[in-house]
Amino acid sequence: MKIAVARYEIGAPADFAAFARRQRRELAEAAAAGARIAVLPEYLSLELAATFAPDIQRDLPASLAAIQRYRQPWLELFAGLARELDMHVVAGSFLLDTGGGRYRNRCDWLTPQGAPLWQDKLQLTGFEKATGLIDGGDALKVFEIDGIRAGVAVCYDSEFPLPVRAQYEAGARLLVVPSCTDTDAGATRVRVGCLARALENRMFVAQSVTAGLAGWSPALDVNTGQAAVYAPMDRGFPDDGVLARTADGQRWAVAELDFAAFEAGRAQAQVANDRDWPDQWQPALQRAMLSPAGSDPAP
């Protein structure tokens, strides 16, 4: 199974039709590369704020309220493209109105049959908390995808091991990470989180990113990082854990995912973090004790 993850340059579409034309063009490129799954970045829906007047673009509450009129066209667009291109489309994330002026950062996953699946972002960044508008999700999901199981961790969620571990224990062997970061430090944090989740759980992790400058938007102003697909750093996989990464202006990183290799290489693996995970829960390891100097016997 091939997966394509986007390094998506934020634009300023004049209207929804222009946005739709770009999505068709970009996803057709991923399909032409053989991708069965294409992953777009977090906050993709906020690009649609560019279709409104400048005073709405610059005002986050106003722009979140305004883009809600595109919710149904958004779902219809990506469901139609998933059917037409015969692939799974992970449509980044849409800031969805849940009532009372509150929003959730929802990642939509459209199957080749056009069926909608979704995962809300669980952990909120400092920026998201400061808006006073966004709530974290309250459900953790795993999807059955072409005979394998997959989960979603939206950006910051990739930096938390326990929910991803729960997805792994529910059968997930692929984690997709739509992301949006505005500093090199933020991009590094998500990249390191993705690598750690791949190592701990012996799974593939596929990260898409936003790129470029969008000075008209308070949320999409600066965008950094490279899209990449990660694997465990062990025998049978790249030493640095990187199966594919964008470079030199590439729009997509494409990788072949060999899920059978996880089991085939298990006996030759140098480490077994996934199997050794329960060893952390020994009672003696649940609480660290302060050990004064000289209190332990010499070896």
pLDDT for residue 153: 98
Neighbours of 232 (CB within 10 A): 27
Instruction: Extract long-range pairs of 188-194: CB within 8 Å, 24+ residues apart.
Output: 189/159, 190/155, 190/156, 190/158, 190/159, 190/225, 191/225, 191/228, 192/159, 193/158, 193/159, 193/160, 194/158, 194/228, 194/230
- Among 202, 201, 197, 194, which residue's Cα sits nearest to residue 244? 194
pLDDT of residue 141: 98
Residue 262 has pLDDT above 90, yes or no: no
Q: What is the arithmetic mean of pLDDT over 141-155?
A: 97
Whether residue 295 has pLDDT greater than 80: no
Q: What pLDDT, on a 0 to 100 scale, did the predictor assign at position 265?
A: 75
Residue 94 carries which side chain, given as an amino acid letter? F
What's the rounded Cα separation, in Å, for the pair 110 and 78?
A: 7
pLDDT at 291 over 90: no
Mean pLDDT for the stretch of residues 212-218: 91
Q: Indicate the range of 97-111, 128-142, 272-286 predicted with least confidence.
A: 272-286
